[in-house]
Chains A and B, each alone.
Chain A
């Protein structure tokens, strides 16, 4: 009990009334746990290979600051218009809203932001001071573009050597128009060039450009991708009417119409196979995809498979080609063997095993082989360490040859996706930066990821996920125009509102609202301040935080500057 601050009865007031506020009483001493504001990672952010700051740009979208949102994405990814269309968006798979009422359509918001800025060419300037070093990048696919872009932002001069006539690599030649219109790609590459990246097209290293020309660069990033179809290694593969998926798509993407028959079989289960199948559909053909495992194991993006199905592509699972039959040098059919699934292989998928004596034949006049791609590394002058068909690189994208880095599909451990290539380019740029004697800035971000149970869903009324506007199937079957449309602004805003913004304080005031101890206030800048002299550590603020941006730490743990941060 506190003392009545009088020495004698004579000094005391006539009766027991209060003389001051309880503010004088440090009830903070009762506390044994301490609430702190601590921004955590959202699962989408940590899942995004490119490391896009999704909660941050979503908040900008909600504020209708679309240009700022675009810049926020551009910090990690120079190709949001591309990834907003073709990314397999693993972010959504981890979205904490998925188990509540459906993942937030992050993918579509990214595209909305990119498309909203289609007319906008004002890329952010270099974030660091100009540097004297120059870096050569071989290949202008997503890995090369990403690396050169990031280097350029760091102040380096980056020059891309592209063997093709136009930049973009697989983005240009491997993805059909109905998924990625050329004008989007052109725009985003142009933006990268505007930033200062030089792209030398028609410049094949080891071809018209000698490897030695690269010696004037301080570092080299090899990002030639994997643009060569793997062989099926099946008798009859040389017959007329057998295409590789890559070649087929390349022809389409250069404006030609490949001469294929009415009855098309596509072998493979990846995105190339699906792209080829859907493209063939658009040429008015009867298309069947043959895959040696089941639908569940198909590496293609599930939505793409669904789309293909809707458009009329047929699927035959658990079959593998054993031979291609021909007539007069032209394909006439394929012999298949039925498969069954055995033990999982090193990829974790069940290994297909042939069923003896189950062979059967199908008629076909065109066979598109899309069982995978491999890099063409013949141009390399030294004997680089390889793993399988790919260049071996360490975690920091070094090849073992000082100054030479590699990433993307040409190097080890790709998953063949655009976004992984963008990640490789970005991370390799940082490695190069360090190789050139600079210290990269550590972002010091927390590694904690907000789990679904840390989200207080009370604050988020149920709201269905946005329906992505699409072209009708009927139309899709006959045209290469884009199937999926960009969200309208209203849709984008509604969808952005659905985002829990896991782990990032949005200054929603819930913590302040429910503090029984009146111990949370806002300073002049609008940041929360916890009055630890009075906070009793009840934890209501932490429990009620809608998005897991606070936590309770044991009292006695030294508080750090980050801990008292301020959302």
Chain B
């Protein structure tokens, strides 16, 4: 279940002069319209539930002549990415969309795209990996691709999907790296929300035609990606690493520019909610953030100093933002919709990692929730907060929230039973 609309809509309202029209569309179509606005030149895609409506809508858009793009209806996601790579190295703006197994099949070429420094933008509808078959949301598909050199964004709302696709091209083409925009299966992909579509001419100003710094060009023939020896491979990787580092700055700048033009901002790599005076903050991402906003509001109304940090960009990871947060809070909980087997939830893992060398290290708690489409409700979030408020130190690296288990270490029962404890820890 998804809560109310994200922060973005509240920021902008639906009357900003940049808006061409407001439509009520599902998340997949929010991606499709952004692709049209971005004047993508080549689309290559292969159907997979629940991504299909992205490409179905795009097929209509291209067929209707609303977008002058080549749409290659390939025979696999692997070929979809190969086509994107090919068109991108030729200098064109390329797009694809996939989900789950399709993303996994692309894995090799995700490396290829990033290693080739190609600004491809891909929408991935987060869906759990099989087996057993599941078509519902979790983030293991995309988070498994974290080391491929792709920027990763997680969208909270359909508006954010549209806006992030537009931002993504600008970012990608600035840092010469590919960008993946993730949206939760069904919860976002198939949920209709009002989306403000900006005016094309403003988008064109924001996102001018791609000028590839290098491409396959018969008038300047070069070979790309040939064999390289140990004496230079590392430097090439370092370049990619640096580009990703640089992307932090670029993401923030682009978000600021975007806000200036369109009146909506997403805070760059993260968005914070009620963290100014919070002692306990939950870090999470995607649609769960909207749900968490409700829980935070409720807990705030009950007097608990809790807050929320939305991980918008997972790659590059918001190191500075989290360290900054750590200076201000006593406890951080991280709710992952993923699990790295043999380790923990993935964002939890990374959050701890960035804090280890930080001067301020609050206690960090890891929660795994919502795998394979298990609903994350305000109650789920409150259960997590309850757990956080009741403990000073984590006793487990991975608390499986809502797990049907007889085991001892499970989140505390929800309020009001433990409200006293919470209040005492809060010191109010």
Which residues of A line the B interface, CB within 8 A?
Answer: 1-4, 6, 9, 12-19
| Set of chain B residues within 8 Å of A9, measured between Cβ atoms | 235, 238-239
| Set of chain A residues within 8 Å of B239, measured between Cβ atoms | 9, 12, 14-15
Interface membership of B248, Cβ < 8 A: no
| Alpha-carbon distance between A18 and B236 when the two chains are bound, in angstroms | 13
30 A-B contacts (beta carbon < 8 Å): A1-B227, A1-B231, A3-B232, A4-B231, A4-B232, A6-B232, A9-B238, A9-B239, A12-B232, A12-B235, A12-B239, A13-B214, A14-B213, A14-B239, A15-B115, A15-B176, A15-B214, A15-B225, A15-B236, A15-B239, A16-B225, A16-B226, A16-B232, A17-B214, A17-B222, A17-B223, A17-B225, A18-B222, A18-B224, A18-B226
The 5 tightest CB contacts between A and B, nearest first, are A1-B229, A4-B232, A18-B223, A9-B235, A17-B222
| Set of chain A residues within 8 Å of B222, measured between Cβ atoms | 17-19
Interface residues in B77-93 (C-beta closer than 8 Å to A) = none
| Set of chain B residues within 8 Å of A4, measured between Cβ atoms | 228-229, 231-232, 235
Apart from A1-B229, A15-B176: 9 A-B pairs, beta carbons within 8 A: A1-B231, A4-B235, A15-B115, A15-B116, A15-B214, A15-B224, A16-B225, A16-B236, A18-B222
| Set of chain A residues within 8 Å of B115, measured between Cβ atoms | 15
Give A5's nearest chain B residue, CB to CB. B232
| Set of chain A residues within 8 Å of B236, measured between Cβ atoms | 12, 15-16
Contact A17 B224 (CB under 8 A): yes
Query: Nearest chain B CB to A38's CB is how many angstroms away?
Result: 37
Query: Nearest chain A CB to B410's CB is how many angstroms away?
Result: 49
Query: Nearest chain B CB to A566's CB is how many angstroms away?
Result: 32
Contact B176 A14 (CB under 8 A): yes
Query: Nearest chain B CB to A138's CB is how many angstroms away?
Result: 77
Give B234's nearest chain A residue, CB to CB. A9
Interface membership of B117, Cβ < 8 A: yes
| Alpha-carbon distance between A12 and B231 when the two chains are bound, in angstroms | 12
| Alpha-carbon distance between A1 and B235 when the two chains are bound, in angstroms | 16
| Set of chain A residues within 8 Å of B224, measured between Cβ atoms | 15-18
| Set of chain A residues within 8 Å of B225, measured between Cβ atoms | 15-17
Out of B214, B228, B229, name the residue touching A14 (CB < 8 Å): B214
| Set of chain B residues within 8 Å of A6, measured between Cβ atoms | 232, 235
Residue-wise interface mask of B (22-52) relative to A, using a CB-CB cutoff of 8 A (1 in contact, 0 not) = 0000000000000000000000000000000
| Alpha-carbon distance between A4 and B227 when the two chains are bound, in angstroms | 11
Query: Nearest chain B CB to A15's CB is how many angstroms away?
Result: 5
| Set of chain A residues within 8 Å of B117, measured between Cβ atoms | 14-15
| Alpha-carbon distance between A14 and B243 when the two chains are bound, in angstroms | 9
| Alpha-carbon distance between A4 and B231 when the two chains are bound, in angstroms | 8
Main SS of chain A's interface residues?
A: loop
Q: Which of B115, B117, B214, B232 has the most CB of A within 10 A?
A: B232
| Set of chain B residues within 8 Å of A14, measured between Cβ atoms | 117, 176, 213-214, 239, 243
Give B233's nearest chain A residue, CB to CB. A16
| Set of chain A residues within 8 Å of B116, measured between Cβ atoms | 15
Chain B interface category by residue count: 20 to 34
Query: Nearest chain A CB to B108's CB is how many angstroms away?
Result: 17
Query: Nearest chain B CB to A1's CB is how many angstroms away?
Result: 4
Give B216's nearest chain A residue, CB to CB. A17
| Set of chain A residues within 8 Å of B243, measured between Cβ atoms | 14
Query: Nearest chain B CB to A5's CB is how many angstroms away?
Result: 10
| Alpha-carbon distance between A532 and B210 when the two chains are bound, in angstroms | 45
Residue-wise interface mask of B (192-235) relative to A, using a CB-CB cutoff of 8 A (1 in contact, 0 not) = 00000000000000000000011000000011111111111001
| Alpha-carbon distance between A3 and B231 when the two chains are bound, in angstroms | 7
| Alpha-carbon distance between A13 and B225 when the two chains are bound, in angstroms | 12
Query: Nearest chain A CB to B226's CB is how many angstroms away?
Result: 7
| Set of chain A residues within 8 Å of B235, measured between Cβ atoms | 4, 6, 9, 12
| Set of chain B residues within 8 Å of A19, measured between Cβ atoms | 222
| Set of chain B residues within 8 Å of A17, measured between Cβ atoms | 214, 222-225
| Set of chain A residues within 8 Å of B232, measured between Cβ atoms | 3-4, 6, 12, 16
Give B176's nearest chain A residue, CB to CB. A14
Give B213's nearest chain A residue, CB to CB. A14
| Alpha-carbon distance between A449 and B227 when the two chains are bound, in angstroms | 47
Q: Which of B230, B235, B243 has the most CB of A within 10 A?
A: B235
Query: Nearest chain B CB to A2's CB is how many angstroms away?
Result: 8
Query: Nearest chain A CB to B240's CB is how many angstroms away?
Result: 8
| Alpha-carbon distance between A16 and B213 when the two chains are bound, in angstroms | 13
| Alpha-carbon distance between A16 and B89 when the two chains are bound, in angstroms | 13
| Set of chain A residues within 8 Å of B223, measured between Cβ atoms | 17-18
Give A4's nearest chain B residue, CB to CB. B232
Query: Nearest chain A CB to B334's CB is how many angstroms away?
Result: 34
Query: Nearest chain A CB to B32's CB is how many angstroms away?
Result: 31
Give B116's nearest chain A residue, CB to CB. A15
Q: Which of A1, A15, A19 has the most CB of B within 10 A?
A: A15
| Alpha-carbon distance between A4 and B235 when the two chains are bound, in angstroms | 10
Query: Nearest chain B CB to A177's CB is how many angstroms away?
Result: 74
| Alpha-carbon distance between A4 and B232 when the two chains are bound, in angstroms | 6
Interface residues in B358-390 (C-beta closer than 8 Å to A) = none
| Alpha-carbon distance between A13 and B243 when the two chains are bound, in angstroms | 13
| Set of chain A residues within 8 Å of B229, measured between Cβ atoms | 1-4
| Alpha-carbon distance between A312 and B286 when the two chains are bound, in angstroms | 113
Query: Nearest chain A CB to B91's CB is how many angstroms away?
Result: 14
| Alpha-carbon distance between A142 and B222 when the two chains are bound, in angstroms | 71
| Alpha-carbon distance between A2 and B227 when the two chains are bound, in angstroms | 10
Query: Nearest chain B CB to A63's CB is how many angstroms away?
Result: 41
A9-B235, A9-B238, A9-B239 known; A16-B176 Cβ under 8 A: no
| Alpha-carbon distance between A2 and B230 when the two chains are bound, in angstroms | 10
Give B224's nearest chain A residue, CB to CB. A17
| Alpha-carbon distance between A12 and B235 when the two chains are bound, in angstroms | 8
| Alpha-carbon distance between A17 and B229 when the two chains are bound, in angstroms | 13
| Set of chain B residues within 8 Å of A3, measured between Cβ atoms | 229, 231-232
| Alpha-carbon distance between A13 and B228 when the two chains are bound, in angstroms | 14
| Set of chain B residues within 8 Å of A1, measured between Cβ atoms | 227, 229-231
Q: Which of A3, A6, A17, A18 has the most CB of B within 10 A?
A: A17
Query: Nearest chain B CB to A11's CB is how many angstroms away?
Result: 10
| Alpha-carbon distance between A19 and B226 when the two chains are bound, in angstroms | 12
| Alpha-carbon distance between A206 and B222 when the two chains are bound, in angstroms | 89
Query: Nearest chain B CB to A19's CB is how many angstroms away?
Result: 8
| Set of chain B residues within 8 Å of A12, measured between Cβ atoms | 232, 235-236, 239
Query: Nearest chain A CB to B86's CB is how many angstroms away?
Result: 16
Interface residues in B236-288 (C-beta closer than 8 Å to A) = 236, 238-239, 243
Contact B231 A16 (CB under 8 A): no
| Alpha-carbon distance between A16 and B229 when the two chains are bound, in angstroms | 11
Residue-wise interface mask of B (111-124) relative to A, using a CB-CB cutoff of 8 A (1 in contact, 0 not) = 00001110000000
| Alpha-carbon distance between A6 and B222 when the two chains are bound, in angstroms | 18
Q: Which of A6, A13, A16, A17 has the most CB of B within 10 A?
A: A16
| Alpha-carbon distance between A12 and B228 when the two chains are bound, in angstroms | 13
Give B227's nearest chain A residue, CB to CB. A1
Query: Nearest chain A CB to B392's CB is how many angstroms away?
Result: 45
| Set of chain A residues within 8 Å of B231, measured between Cβ atoms | 1, 3-4
Query: Nearest chain B CB to A380's CB is how many angstroms away?
Result: 83
| Alpha-carbon distance between A14 and B117 when the two chains are bound, in angstroms | 8
Query: Nearest chain B CB to A521's CB is how many angstroms away?
Result: 20
Query: Nearest chain A CB to B175's CB is how many angstroms away?
Result: 10
Query: Nearest chain B CB to A23's CB is how many angstroms away?
Result: 13
Q: Which of B117, B231, B236 has the most CB of A within 10 A?
A: B236
| Alpha-carbon distance between A284 and B222 when the two chains are bound, in angstroms | 87
| Alpha-carbon distance between A14 and B239 when the two chains are bound, in angstroms | 6
| Set of chain A residues within 8 Å of B230, measured between Cβ atoms | 1
Give B230's nearest chain A residue, CB to CB. A1
| Set of chain A residues within 8 Å of B228, measured between Cβ atoms | 4, 16
Query: Nearest chain A CB to B280's CB is how many angstroms away?
Result: 43
Give A15's nearest chain B residue, CB to CB. B117
| Set of chain A residues within 8 Å of B176, measured between Cβ atoms | 14-15
| Alpha-carbon distance between A465 and B239 when the two chains are bound, in angstroms | 72
| Alpha-carbon distance between A322 and B230 when the two chains are bound, in angstroms | 98
| Set of chain A residues within 8 Å of B213, measured between Cβ atoms | 14
| Alpha-carbon distance between A9 and B232 when the two chains are bound, in angstroms | 9
Q: Which of A1, A12, A13, A14 has the most CB of B within 10 A?
A: A14
